[in-house]
């Protein structure tokens, strides 16, 4: 099974992003757009694991704690690695400092199970599209620049989700296996 850990996106934010994506898809339908129902904030990509490891992963994740909920503000648009050589188009996230700490705690908890730590620095974002070798069409670049400072909504959450990803010809299909609270109950 192919697994990752993520924060779910609120309906209002998802609707704002869906409207943006719809307008951009009209300009460049050949781009590899993410379906709005698949938008999430990845905290840790685990990858392929044996189903027999699932219970241990759940147990390890159940130990992850933070002293307060995470708050996020979705705003701005950008590219990885950069606008001149775009591979990924993303929506930016301004996050409370404990988001980075939460991601590191998840990384540490799963590393004990033999799952490698993430080598790249944690950079919270929502992937909106992936570009192939043809790059970024000029009309799409202009439309993205027009929306670059767009406010997309906010989130306050005290749980993350263990999600299974099944790759299909029609795109990835996600199933939430478990929702895990990370703030201790008072």
Instruction: Compute the distance between CA of residue 42 and CA of residue 120 in angstroms, rounded to an integer.
Output: 13
Instruction: Compute the distance between CA of residue 103 and CA of residue 109 in angstroms, rounded to an integer.
Output: 10
| CB 5, CB 46: distance < 8 Å | yes
Q: Among all residues, which ones are annotated catalytic?
A: 40, 125
Instruction: Compute the distance between CA of residue 40 and CA of residue 140 in angstroms, rounded to an integer.
Output: 23
Alpha helices in the chain (DSSP H): 11-27, 54-61, 98-111, 138-146
Instruction: Compute the distance between CA of residue 88 and CA of residue 20 in angstroms, rounded to an integer.
Output: 16
105, 113, 127: which is closest to 55 by C-alpha?
A: 113
């Amino acid at each position: 099974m192919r697994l990752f850990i993520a924060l779910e996106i609120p309906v209002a934010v998802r609707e704002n992003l869906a409207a943006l994506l719809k307008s951009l898809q009209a300009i460049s339908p050949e781009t590899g757009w993410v379906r709005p129902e698949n938008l999430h904030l990845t905290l840790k990509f685990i990858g392929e694991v044996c189903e027999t490891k699932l219970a241990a992963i759940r147990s390890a994740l159940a130990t992850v704690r933070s002293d307060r909920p995470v708050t996020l503000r979705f705003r701005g648009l950008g590219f990885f690695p950069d606008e001149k050589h775009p591979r990924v188009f993303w929506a930016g996230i301004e996050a409370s400092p404990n988001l980075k700490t939460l991601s590191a705690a998840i990384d540490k908890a799963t590393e004990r199970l033999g799952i490698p730590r993430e080598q790249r620095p944690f950079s919270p974002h929502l992937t909106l599209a992936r570009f192939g070798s043809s790059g970024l069409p000029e009309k799409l670049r202009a439309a993205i620049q027009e929306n670059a400072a767009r406010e997309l909504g906010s989130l306050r959450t005290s749980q993350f989700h263990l999600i299974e990803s099944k790759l299909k010809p029609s795109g990835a299909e996600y199933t939430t296996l478990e929702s895990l609270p990370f703030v201790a109950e008072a």
